[in-house]
Chain A
């Protein structure tokens, strides 16, 4: 019930492609779904986040799509660049968890020039 399942584990795309990373959850009490981006040698950093009252959120080339009925959400990266090569983590939480996050397994993205 507390798990967030993320796929794929790794992804290789060509520059300009649109990588899609998927996450699924079981606990319908979750009400906050952030994505974190981690570059090699660095800690993760917040990339974009969504709440379940909207179905889509865009920030620059990054878009979260949210399907509440399916309990799934995904990250799309438009016009991907080699600089987007990183590990991406989805996460979920609900407000009375005191700021705790439950993370997915991570996706290692490589964007080839």
Chain B
């Protein structure tokens, strides 16, 4: 059974803090993704990674960075949190083989509030 876990379900931070969101998958997937989910805007891709130490910008990378030091772990970093980064953050993973036709498996999400 595929499992994608995220380090926190709820997080409250202050403006200017450095924030780390962690994601771990147990299915040996090559690809990992970070999205943010906002009402009326759907899921927007922040960053993704095809392999260890590989990363590519998604549609809204500004204000975020990522780290992938191990295949199973993908971290999202908010260098200096701002109130407009209050959102639900979702991590997902899938196999590279088969390209787009591979199902993405999502974690339960982290609800981040920046005060």
Contact = CB atoms under 8 A, between A and B. Distances in A.
A97 interface: yes
Interface stretch (B36-44, B68-76, B77-85): B36-44
B100 A43 contact: no
Interface string A62-93: 00000000000000000000000000010001
A9 B74 CA distance: 31
Interface string A102-113: 111110000000
Contacts of B15: none
B104 A99 contact: yes
Interface residues of B, number: 31
Contacts of A43: 4, 90, 92, 106-109
12 contacts: A32-B100, A42-B109, A43-B108, A89-B42, A93-B100, A95-B99, A95-B101, A96-B99, A98-B99, A99-B31, A99-B96, A100-B58
